[in-house]
Structure 1
Amino acid sequence: MSGDVQEDNALQDALRRAGLRVTPQRMMVLAALAAGEGHMTADEIFDLVRREYPFLNRSTVYRTLDRLVELGLVAVTDLGEGVRQYELIGTQPHHHLICQRCGVTIDLADEVLQPLRARLQEEYGFAARMDHFAIFGLCRVCQPDGSSDD
């Protein structure tokens, strides 16, 4: 799980920009997220961190994740499995289309949601925070009248 120096420095800088102290616990959780492939549950993060730091408390991981989400460094989403999953927020927010039949997940560019953000602001005076959005439905293949040939 030990990241490279450049990655560690970037994570430390992100914590400082968010106004947080750089603590070993925060760095461990961020490093686990950086090492993970995409979305991870809190338990997966805890298990990964415990390999190197066996005395870490599970509640510390949960508290750290909550704080990182609150500060916008980590996104939390339920991708339809009833479990909160976490992911580092990169330089650009990203979103997902999730098929409720076959489970395929399709990445959705942030630009697609920009008109929705603008309309929510204009019509409702609501500044939507959509850093990591999941939209459920049926993919092209699973739609009753859909076909996979284009």
Structure 2
Amino acid sequence: MTEWQDLLRASGHRLTPQREMVLRAVEELGHATPDEVHAEVRRHSDSVNLSTVYRTLELLDDLGLIRHAHLTDRAPTYHSATGHEHAHLVCRSCGQTTSIGREEVEQSLAPLAERHGFAPDYGHLTVFGTCATCTAQPTR
């Protein structure tokens, strides 16, 4: 039995094929919206509907198995909690998303956080702006 399966059971939840498929889809897709997760799950099973995907994503996020970030003004984007914790830089012009490791973000924000007595949640941090490619393009 794996760690995520143990965590699910220890929290009083059943281990279901649907939950496993949703978790696997998030891990395979990297950053994905609920609709993208649903489309990936549907490639393997027609029996999983969108409401099941939403409920499962919420449960997995509550358990700390996945994380969500708001990379657009639409649905949240989910990614695996395994691997490195990171923040996101999102270009408002082209939509490019760059993941920035916690260490780099912490170095930049530590003085500000300390000055205000604040403990940032780096995994949910998203900074919107303009990427270097879009900044270099002449305006029309």
TM-score by length of 1: 0.71
Shift of 1:81: 5.2
Is the Cα contact below 8 Å between 1:121 and 1:128 reproduced in 2? no
Matched residue, 1:34 = 27
Provide structure 1 residue ranges, at least 5 long, that are not aligned to the other structure.
1-8
CA RMSD across the alignment: 2.6
Superposition map of 1:36-51 within 5 A: 36=29, 38-51=30-43
* 1:142 partner SS: helix
- Equivalenced residue count is 133
Matched residue, 2:16 = 23
Matched residue, 1:108 = 100
Provide structure 2 residue ranges, at least 5 long, that are not aligned to the other structure.
none
Is the Cα contact below 8 Å between 1:69 and 1:75 reproduced in 2? yes
Runs ≥4 residues deviating over 4 A: none
- Among 32, 46, 49, the alignment partner of 1:54 is 46
Matched residue, 1:63 = 55
Superposition map of 1:139-150 within 5 A: 139-143=131-135
Q: Whole-Å Cα distance in 2 between the matches of residues 134 and 39 of structure 1? A: 13
Shift of 1:135: 0.8
Q: Whole-Å Cα distance in 2 between the matches of residues 59 and 67 of structure 1? A: 12
TM-score by length of 2: 0.75
* 2:133 partner SS: coil
Deviation readout 1:20-44 (Å, 9 max, x if unpaired): 44322211111111222x2111122
Deviation readout 1:32-69 (Å, 9 max, x if unpaired): 11222x21111221222223322223211111101111
